[in-house]
Amino acid sequence: MTPRRQSGRAPVTSPAAATVFTTVLTQGPVSRVDVARRTGLSSAAVTKASRPLIEAGYLVEMDSAQGGVGRPASPLDLRTDREFFLGVKITDRELIGVVTDLRSQILVTKFHQLPSRKVDAVVDGVSEMVTELLAESKAYKQRTHCVGVTVAGDVDRESGFVRYSPFLHWRDVPLAGLLAEKINTGKTDLEITVDNDVKAITVAERWFGNGVGADSFALVTLGTGIGCGLVVNGGVVTGSHGVAGEIGHIPVFGDGPLCHCGATGCVEAIASTDAIVAQARTATGEPGLTMEEVITGARLGDAALRRVFARAGVAIGRGLASMANLVGPERIIVSGEGLDAYDLFADEIRETFATQAFGAAAHCELILRPLPFEEWARGAAAIAVQTLFIS
């Protein structure tokens, strides 16, 4: 199977072209002079790199504005409707799909329930989602060439294999190839890219969110799992084996519970949604408690439930501090559905982080970032945009 192909649409064929394209993508409209100043490229290199992008309709020269030293400047900006992108986020219960423009602005959102976690059912569901999204507009059918699909777990983007997804109970699934075979029938010829969901969100955050302007930052997601995406020296860290930033599997309690990964005392085994619910049920002797009931009880002052959240906060704080000590990011963005309960362990997170972070690492800014579910699919679309300039 060949899960990915080079489309050859956007003439982003050199590092200079990729630099110019991403600068305009994230900071436009911007003049060539400013592109040169911000990137270190020469003015001639910027002009050479931008010309084919303008000719292909990806960049556009805006009306001249008065530039420096009395000379007019024609800022470069993105033609956002030059191409559209699909993003699909796979969860253990549903699919979230979006159509976005070239700046990953969401134009259409759809939610589909999954009847099963089995591979065939998910592949069929993603294929149906893609068909429905494209049917929303004739322009989408004509100008959509890339689909990004994301899933939690260990994903090898280059091969399109999901090596391990704990929530789907998958191992070694050639997802990109299966999707390409299912979707690309008849005249359809879409490039399928599969990646880890948190890494994809990190790409979107780097380009369009709280990561803009930061040379290094971390995005930590709290929820069913504890995920982390890292940007260092302006690039998303993928790891030599496709695994990096797994803060959820840092051991923080020697006597902690067994994690699904096989280790003990991991952050995720103590502070994920499922782990908090399990500990709350044990602490109260009520086996039917839901997360909503656990949160409500803790806010009403139930001491046992508050201790569960406090321990989770300590685990998260230790994980954040370990990551800050190793990587030294400028800021840490904390997001995910787990933010719904943030008030119940915020003090423990911040106090533990301040205590465990070494020296100046404790000054790392912590930013709370709400993450609606459709933002996960937007991240998937962002990795589809990436295919324009990743060889």
The whole-number average pLDDT for the span 217-226 is: 93
Closest CA to 92 of 124, 128, 126, 122: 122
C-alpha gyration radius of the chain: 22
Q: What CA–CA distances, in Å, run from 330 to 82, 136, 211, 245?
A: 34, 41, 10, 15
For 66-108, the pLDDT digits (tens) are 444 555 568 999 999 999 999 999 999 999 999 999 999 999 9
Domain ranges for the chain, please list them: 15-78, 84-201+375-386, 214-371
Q: How confident is the model at residue 14 (pLDDT cuts 50, 70, 90)?
A: confident
Q: Of 2.30.140.10, 3.40.50.300, 3.10.129.10, 3.30.420.40, which CATH number belongs to 84-201+375-386?
A: 3.30.420.40
CATH architecture of 15-78: Orthogonal Bundle (1.10)
Model confidence at 4: pLDDT above 60: no
pLDDT at residue 148, as a whole number: 98
Closest CA to 81 of 56, 54, 100: 100
For 118-161, the pLDDT digits (tens) are 999 999 999 999 999 999 999 999 999 999 999 999 999 999 99
| In the block, residue with structure tokens 């959240």 | 309
Q: Enumerate the β-bridge partners of residue 77.
A: 60
Averaged confidence pLDDT in the chain? 91
Q: CA–CA separation, 7 vs 387, rounded Å?
A: 8
Model confidence at 3: pLDDT above 70: no
> Hey, do 15-78 and 84-201+375-386 end up sharing a CATH topology, with the first three levels equal?
no
Q: Of 3.40.630.10, 3.30.365.10, 3.40.50.300, 3.30.420.40, which CATH number belongs to 214-371?
A: 3.30.420.40
Q: CA–CA separation, 248 vs 235, rounded Å?
A: 21
pLDDT at residue 187, as a whole number: 60
Q: CA–CA separation, 64 vs 138, rounded Å?
A: 33
pLDDT at residue 120, as a whole number: 97
For 284-296, the pLDDT digits (tens) are 999 999 999 999 9
Q: Is 243 exposed, middle or buried (0-12, 13-18, 19+ CB in 10 A)?
A: middle
Q: CA–CA separation, 45 vs 83, rounded Å?
A: 25
Whole-prediction pTM: 0.88
Least confident of 103-112, 184-193, 316-325: 184-193
